[in-house]
Structure 1
C-alpha cells in the first residue's frame, strides 16, 4: 500500500533517492531512523528498484538486510519480487542494465528468475537484448527458462541474440536452447541470421547442428532470404553447409533463391547461385526463368549477368503469371525511351513474335521498330539458307522467316499506322512485294500507297492487284503520281 504522507520534489522518497545515488552510509542512517524502504513512487518503483537499476550493490545489500530483519521470509520474497507499474522487477532491471553483482544478491534473496514484465520480457531476454554476456551466463547457470517466448512475434532469447548479432551470447545459448524454435511465422534462429546478415552467428548455429533448409510459413528458406537481402557471406555459408538452391520457396510460383538475387540486383550473389542452380528453371515448362524477375524489376545488371551466363532471352511462356516472353515483359514494363533491358534482349537474339511486332507497329512512334531493326536485318531471297535465315552481316542477326511472317500479320492488322512504320520497313530492306496484299491496297490512303508503289516494279503486279488500283483510281480514292503511268 502506498504511503502518501510525504511529498517529494522528484517524486521519489528520500530513501529511494539515496539508494539511487549510492550513498550507502546515508541510506543506513535513514533506515536506522525508521524510514521505510517499501515506499513507492508514481511509477511503482521502490528503493530496491532504484538501487538495482543504478547498480548500487551495497545499497541493495542494505535494503535486503533491512527487509529481512523487519519481516518474515515470505514478506522478504514478496518485496524482492515486487513489480513496477510496467511489471519490472529489481531482478529484471539489474539484468537489463548488466549489473552482475546486484543480480547475484537478488537471486540469493530468491528473486524470481523468470518473472515476466507487462510486455512479456524477462530478465534473461533483457540481458540478451542488451548484450550482457556475463549476465546471460549467470542466469542460464541459475536455471532461467531459455526457450520461452518474449515478443509479440513469439521470439525466444536465441532469436533475439542472433537478431542483435551478439555472437558471444549465441555461443552460450546454443548449448541449452532449442535451435529450431519457431516464431509465429515459423521462423527459426538460422533464418534470422540469414535475413539480417549475421554470418558469425549463422556459423555458430550451423556448427551446433541447426537445419539450414528449414522453410517458414510462406516456404521461404534461409538461402532465399539471404539472397534477397544480398548477404553474400551468409549465402556462401549456407551453400557450403548443404543449403539446397533448388527448393521451391513459394506457394504461388516456383520461386528459387536465384530469383531473389536477380530481383534485387545482388550481382555477386546471383553469380554464385547461377553456378549451383538447376538450369531447368531457364526453359522448363513448369518453371519461371530468373530473367523474368530481373526484367520486371528493371535490374539491368541482373539481366546482363543472366544473358552473359547463357540464360535464354526467350525463356518459357509463363501465362500463369501473365508473362509471354522476357522481351514482351520488358516492353510492357518500359516507358519511353525503351529500357536497357529491351535493348539487351533484342541484341541477345530474343525472338520477335507477333505480340512484339504489334507493340512496334500499333503506334505512331517508330522508336521500338527502329530499335529492333538496329539489331536485325531482313533476309534476302538470294542469300537464304536451308533454315530460312541469311548469314549475319554488319553485326546484325537476320530475322527468321517465321519472324517476318509474324511481322506481316501485325502489319495487316495495323494498316492505320502504316504512315509511321512503312517508311522504316522499306528503308531497312523489307521486300516491298511482301506488302502487296489486297487488304493493304484497299485500305491505304493515297500518300501511303504512293510511297509503297515507288518501290515496286508495276510489271510484276498480279492482275487482281492491278484491278484494285484501277478501281481506286476510278473512285478517286487514289491519286497516282504522274510517273506511275510510264
Structure 2
C-alpha cells in the first residue's frame, strides 16, 4: 500500500502512513518507498517521507540510491530535496564501476541537475585512478552535458578507463559512436578543448579517410616546427606534442591506401614530408600520391635505400614519375625548400599571413605555398575513397606501428 501511494503521489495518504508504517520497508530488490517517490518525481510525497526520517542514502540491491534515480529521470525538485536533506552525491551506485548520480545526469542530459551535482560531487571522479569521468557518459547521447562539463573544468582527456569500461578516452568513445565520416558535436567540443590525440583519433582521421575530423584537428592543433620540445600543454590552440606527432606519422604510414585523402591536408598544413619518406610509403603509395609527395622534397637527395625503392617501381612499371624527377630540382624549388626551413614549414604552409610578410611578389607567394602542385586523384573533392568498412577492416588486421620521428 505504501509503495503504491508513493507512486501515485497521494501526499495526504503518505502523510498518514509515515506515522504508522515502516519507512524502510523493502521489496525483493531492497527498494524503499523513498525510491519510488524519487524515481517518479513525486516531490511532495518525497518531502513527507524525508520529513518523517526516511533514509535518503538507502541503497537498493544493485546499490542504486534515490538520488541516482531522481538524477537519471530528470526530477530536479526531488534532487534538490534529497541533497538538502543530506543525500550523498559521492556514494557509489553500482558494483560494476563507481557510478555516481552525476553520471546519470550527464548521460541523460539533465542540465540543471548536472549543474547542481557538479557543485557538490568530488572532483576525484574527473581524473582519479579507478574512477570514471562523467564525460564518458555525456558523449553517449546528443546533449549539452559535454559542453557544460568542459566549461566547468572537467578534463577532455579524463582517465584511461580500459580496465573498467573498455574505453581509452572520451574522444575515442565519441568517435566510436560515429562510424561514418561526420564529426559529432561531442567530438568537436573535445577536440576544441585540447583532448589528447592518440591512435584512435588518428585512425579515424587518416586510416578511415575522415577529412572532416582531420580538418577539425588541424584547425585547433598546429604542427610542431623544427626543434619543438617534448610534451604538450593540453591547451586548445597548442601544437601537437612530439608524442602525438609520432602517433600521427605511425598511423599515416600504416594507412597508405587512404593517402590521397590525408596527404594533401597534412602537407599543406606544414607536416615535414621527410617524416613520410619511408620505404613502405614509397613502395605502397599510388603513383600519383608518390608524385605529389616528391613535389614537396628535394628528390635528388633521397637516400640510396629509398632510391632503390623508386628504381624498382620504375622497373615494375608501377609508377610513372613526372619528367622533372629525372633531373636535379630547379633552383626555384630548392629556394622554396630553403625558405621553408628558415620560416618553418607550418608557418609557411598553413598561414597566409606569414607568406604575405615576405618581400616577394604575389605570384612567388603562391609558389612558396605550393599552390601550383595539383592534389592527387582521390583527394578531398575528387574521386571517392574506398568504403569506410573496407578501410577499417584492412587497418585493424594489417596495422603495424612504424617507429619514426
Pairwise TM-score range, normalised by the shorter structure: 0.7 to 0.9
Any idea what the Cα deviations from partners look like across 1:316-363, whole Å, max 9, x if unmatched? 122232211111111110244221111111000011111221111122
Which among 161, 164, 182 is matched to residue 318 of structure 1? Answer: 161
List 4+ stretches of structure 1 deviating above 4 A.
388-392
Show structure 1 runs of 5+ residues with no match: 1-156
User: Radius of gyration: which is bigger?
Assistant: 1
Does the 8 Å contact 2:232/2:238 carry over to 1?
no
Which among 329, 338, 350 is matched to residue 183 of structure 2? Answer: 338
Q: 1:226 and 1:432, CA in 2 relative to 1: closer, same or farther beyond 3 A?
A: same
Report the secondary structure of 2:112's partner residue: helix
Matched with 1:303 is 146
Report the secondary structure of 2:27's partner residue: coil
What is the distance in 1 between the residues matched to 2:5 and 2:203?
57
Does the 8 Å contact 1:191/1:221 carry over to 2?
yes
Report the secondary structure of 2:122's partner residue: coil
Does the 8 Å contact 1:362/1:414 carry over to 2?
yes
Any idea what the Cα deviations from partners look like across 1:423-454, whole Å, max 9, x if unmatched? 11111111111111122112222111100000
Q: 1:261 and 1:178, CA in 2 relative to 1: closer, same or farther beyond 3 A?
A: same
What is the distance in 2 between the residues matched to 1:243 and 1:417?
53
Does the 8 Å contact 1:391/1:398 carry over to 2?
no
Matched with 2:88 is 244
In the TM superposition, what are the counterparts of 1:38-437 in structure 2 within 5 Å? 157-299=1-143, 301-319=144-162, 320-334=164-178, 335-381=180-226, 384=228, 386-387=229-230, 396-437=237-278
What is the distance in 2 between the residues matched to 1:439 and 1:252?
44
Q: What is the total number of aligned residue pairs between the two structures? A: 325
Show structure 2 runs of 5+ residues with no match: 329-405
Which among 297, 302, 309 is matched to residue 468 of structure 1? Answer: 309
Does the 8 Å contact 1:419/1:448 carry over to 2?
yes
Q: 1:336 and 1:457, CA in 2 relative to 1: closer, same or farther beyond 3 A?
A: closer
Q: 1:388 and 1:292, CA in 2 relative to 1: closer, same or farther beyond 3 A?
A: closer
CA offset at residue 365 of structure 1? Answer: 4.3
Matched with 2:349 is none
Per chain length, whose mean CA-contact separation is higher, i.e. which structure has more relative contact order (CA < 8 Å, sep 6+)?
2
TM-score by length of 2: 0.76
Does the 8 Å contact 2:41/2:70 carry over to 1?
yes
What is the distance in 2 between the residues matched to 1:387 and 1:186?
54
